[in-house]
């Protein structure tokens, strides 16, 4: 283990300055729930750990006309039940209580869950279905990036050196005609999912599909967008149309070519994509028409 | 580079030196010498290293020691004493919820947090509280019964 320093900035700007100063050797520690393992395994060997524990202003949840803004340091336990206060976040609420266990959720932060960029991350899949954006602060100011462009591959993000994820924005949508849902399958409670699928649908005045998103987790490095499944549904009648939803499930399954992993072989994951896509779509439609 | 770490563990103050990458588990076991907190997977999966930090349950192998600086930690040694068992410890013994005992410290602290937050949990609540605590001997049913037997009684 190389010599490692531990720094505790108290503001976003101080954190960004330290990150920029120490470049590639600097790593953020939020809840530490992934970082502690990366450090122990030697997968991360930073010269400077920048703990954001004492950074203020990253713990708020605020709703406005544009959407709901969630601070990067909000813990996953705090997000449990968030769909009741902020109904546009129900798809996120679908997953938070299934992530790991209460010990981990007590300290795991939303920002950390995204920046870890684990291929099986439930949080990223749910937020991608919701078209969330992330705000990054850096020494040269702020920028906003759609979450689908932020996670670029397995354990890789678009955060540049010196950039800190400060908040996540989930845009508002009309709850009377649109909704999202997330479905996952894990081998055991507390495990990362074998496959997770997030779906968003919005309906036009005659009940046809106006917009749709299907996002698949753990079948590629970054979450995959099942565009063929989306194209099958967009503009078509989907309420109660089980045939169309089943076809969308099959198109989503055809979209991915996952590698075997210790949890499941590729074919098994492909079958799961088909089933979970249909179920997530059904649930989203049920919510949008409730 | 070593940094000073100041912890209150079971109401006693300790000042030790740790590397930034040392976990709270290492600080407790190797730095302070309290080995009731167990170490098995060191990967966040088994829960044997569970402790409380400022009243919140955490797997101590997943938190850096320095993240707990100036905080108050409860380990199994602080829950009860051999001649003064915590009601949960007594109930675990009575219900045969201890076989090899390796998972027991973590299970007991998880049970304590559950009862602190919800004095009257259902069986379902108890089972979901134990999601992060694995037991290779399979005492889950007995542990659940033990917690149920304490639930609703006066907490220590
Ligand atoms: C046993 C186990 C099971 C799990 N199961 C699941 C699961 O089922 N589904 C799921 O989705 N997740 C799962 N997780 C992952 C969990 O969600 C993450 O470990 C946790 O959310 C990370 O958050 P943290 O605050 O602890 O981040 P840290 O561990 O502190 O950081 C994680 C990474 O993000 C970077 N980082 C953190 N915050 C920021 C920021 N604000 N800006 C820039 N970079 C940042 C760090 O540098 C590091 O690279 C599991 C983890 C474990 C250990
Ligand atoms: S040793 Fe910490 S969870 Fe297994
Ligand atoms: S009693 Fe042996 S691991 Fe639980």
Nearest residue, CB atoms, B132 vs list A6, A40, A102: A102
User: What are the beta bridge partners of residue A77?
Assistant: none
- Please give the structure tokens belonging to residue B15: 């000042």
User: Does A192 sit in the ligand 1 pocket, CB within 6 Å?
Assistant: yes
Looking at B1-156, which runs of residues are DSSP E strands? 3-9, 12-18, 50-53, 56-59, 72-74
The string over A80-99, giving b where at least 16 C-beta atoms fall within 10 Å of a residue's C-beta and e elsewhere, is: bebbeebebbbbbbbbbbbb
Across the interface, whether the CB atoms of A103 and B129 are under 8 A apart is answered no
Give the three-state DSSP class for B74: strand
8 Å CB contact between B20 and B66: yes
Question: A95 to chain B, minimum CA–CA distance in Å?
Answer: 15
**Mutate: best of B4, B20, B66, B130, partner A, most A CBs <10 A:** B20
- Every domain range in chain A assigned CATH 3.30.465.10: 61-171
Which pLDDT tens digit goes with each residue over A44-74?
A: 999 999 999 999 999 999 999 999 999 999 9
Domains of chain B: 3-78 (3.10.20.30), 87-155 (1.10.150.120)
- Best of B21, B43, B44, B74 to disrupt the A interface (most A CBs within 10 Å) is B21
Residue B122 and residue B145 in contact, taking contact as beta carbons nearer than 8 Å? no
Q: Quick check: B20 and A4 in contact, CB under 8 A?
A: yes
Atom of ligand 3 nearest to the CA of B107: 4
What's the pLDDT at A207? 87
The residue written with tokens 């917009």 in the block is A211
Q: Rounded CA gap, B107 and B97, in Å?
A: 10
Q: Which atom of ligand 1 is nearest to the CA of A193?
A: 8
Structure tokens at A47: 């010269």
Which of A24, A30, A103, A135 best tests ligand 1's pocket when mutated (most atoms within 8 Å of CB)? A30
Residue B154 clears pLDDT 60, i.e. is over it: no
What letter would DSSP give residue B5?
E
Whether domain A61-171 has CATH 3.30.465.10? yes
> A 234-263 residues with CB below 8 A of B?
none
Mean pLDDT (chain B, rounded): 96
| Spatial distance between the Cα atoms of A147 and A158, rounded to a whole number of angstroms | 10
Contact pairs from chain A to chain B, CB under 8 Å: 83
CA distance B118 to B131: 17
Q: Where along chain A do the CATH 3.30.43.10 domains lie? A: 5-51
State chain B's maximal CA–CA distance in angstroms. Answer: 48
Going by CA atoms, what residue is nearest to atom 4 of ligand 3? B135
Give the model's confidence band at B156: pLDDT under 50 very low, under 70 low, under 90 confident, else very high.
very low
**Ligand that comes closest to the CA of residue B46:** 2
Across the interface, which of B20, B43, B59 has its CB nearest the CB of A4?
B20
Q: What are the tens digits of pLDDT across the range B6-35?
A: 999 999 999 999 999 999 999 999 999 999
Entry pTM: 0.96
Summarised one tens digit per residue, pLDDT across range B87-145 is 999 999 999 999 999 999 999 999 999 999 999 999 999 999 999 999 999 999 999 99
Among A33, A103, A189, beta carbon nearest to B47 = A103
B82: Cβ contacts below 8 Å, ≥ 6 apart: none
Contacts of A53 in chain B (CB under 8 A): 67
Look at the block and give the residue holding tokens 């699928």.
A197
Regarding the beta carbon of B139 and ligand 3, being less than 6 Å apart is answered yes
List of chain A residues with pLDDT < 50: none
Q: What is the ipTM for the molecules in this complex?
A: 0.95
- DSSP track, chain A: ----EEE--SSHHHHHHHHHHHGGGEEEESS-TTHHHHHHTTS---SEEEE-TT--S---EEE-SSEEEEETT-BHHHHTTHHHHSGGGHHHHHHHTTSS-HHHHHH-BHHHHHHT--TT-HHHHHHHHTT-EEEEEETTEEEEEEHHHHEEETTEESPPTT-EEEEEEEE---TTTEEEEEEEE-SSTTSPPSEEEEEEEEE-TTSBEEEEEEEEESSSSSPEE-HHHHHHHTTSB-TT-HHHHHHHHHHHHHH--PPPBTTB-HHHHHHHHHHHHHHHHHHHHHHHH-
Q: Is A205 exposed, middle or buried (0-12, 13-18, 19+ CB in 10 A)?
A: exposed
- B-chain residues within 8 Å CB-CB of A31? 63
Question: Does domain A179-288 match CATH 3.50.50.60?
Answer: no
Considering the segment(s) A5-51 as one domain, its CATH architecture is 2-Layer Sandwich (3.30)
B62, B70, B113: which to substitute to probe chain A, counting the most A Cβ within 10 Å?
Answer: B62
Q: End-to-end CA distance of chain B: give it in Å, rounded.
A: 41
- φ and ψ of A250, to 5 deg: -70, -35
Closest CA to B124 of B114, B137, B116: B114
């Amino acid at each position: 283990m190389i010599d490692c320093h531990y720094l505790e900035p108290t503001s976003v700007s101080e954190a960004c300055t330290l990150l920029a100063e120490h470049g590639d050797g600097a790593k953020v520690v939020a809840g530490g729930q992934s970082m502690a393992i990366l450090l122990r395994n030697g997968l991360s060997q930073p010269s400077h750990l920048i703990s954001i524990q004492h950074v203020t202003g990253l713990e708020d949840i605020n709703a406005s006309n544009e959407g709901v803004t969630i601070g990067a340091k909000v813990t996953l336990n705090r997000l449990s039940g968030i769909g009741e206060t902020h109904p546009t976040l129900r798809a996120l609420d679908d997953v938070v209580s299934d992530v790991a266990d209460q010990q981990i959720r007590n300290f795991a932060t939303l920002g950390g869950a995204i920046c870890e960029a684990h291929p099986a991350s439930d949080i990223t899949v749910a937020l991608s279905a919701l078209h969330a954006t992330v705000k990054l602060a850096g020494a040269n100011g702020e920028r906003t990036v759609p979450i689908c462009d932020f996670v670029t591959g397995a354990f890789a993000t678009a955060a540049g050196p010196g950039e800190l994820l400060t908040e996540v924005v989930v845009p508002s949508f009309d709850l009377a005609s649109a909704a999202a849902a997330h479905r996952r399958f894990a081998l055991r409670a507390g495990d990362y999912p074998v496959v997770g699928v997030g779906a968003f649908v919005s309906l036009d005045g005659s009940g046809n599909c106006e917009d749709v998103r299907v996002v698949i987790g753990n079948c590629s490095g970054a979450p995959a967008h099942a565009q063929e499944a989306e194209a099958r549904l967009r503009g078509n009648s989907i309420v109660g149309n089980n045939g169309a939803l089943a076809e969308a499930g099959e198109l989503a399954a055809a979209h991915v070519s996952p590698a075997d992993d210790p949890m499941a072989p590729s074919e098994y994951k492909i079958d799961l994509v088909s089933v979970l896509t249909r179920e997530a779509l059904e649930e989203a439609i049920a919510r949008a028409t409730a | 580079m070593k940094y000073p770490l100041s912890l209150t563990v079971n109401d006693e103050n300790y000042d030790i030196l740790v590397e930034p990458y040392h976990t709270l588990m290492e600080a407790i076991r190797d730095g302070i010498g309290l080995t009731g907190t167990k170490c098995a997977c060191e990967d966040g999966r088994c829960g044997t290293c569970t402790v409380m930090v400022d009243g919140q349950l955490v797997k101590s192998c997943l938190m850096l020691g320095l993240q707990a600086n100036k905080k108050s930690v409860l380990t199994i040694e602080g829950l009860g004493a051999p001649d003064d068992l915590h009601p949960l410890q007594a109930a675990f013994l009575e219900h045969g919820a201890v076989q090899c005992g390796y998972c027991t410290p973590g299970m007991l602290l998880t049970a304590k947090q559950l009862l602190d937050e919800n004095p009257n949990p259902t069986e379902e609540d108890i089972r979901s509280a134990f999601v992060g605590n694995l037991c290779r001997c399979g005492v889950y049913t007995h542990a659940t019964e033990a917690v149920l037997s304490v639930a609703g009684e006066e907490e220590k």
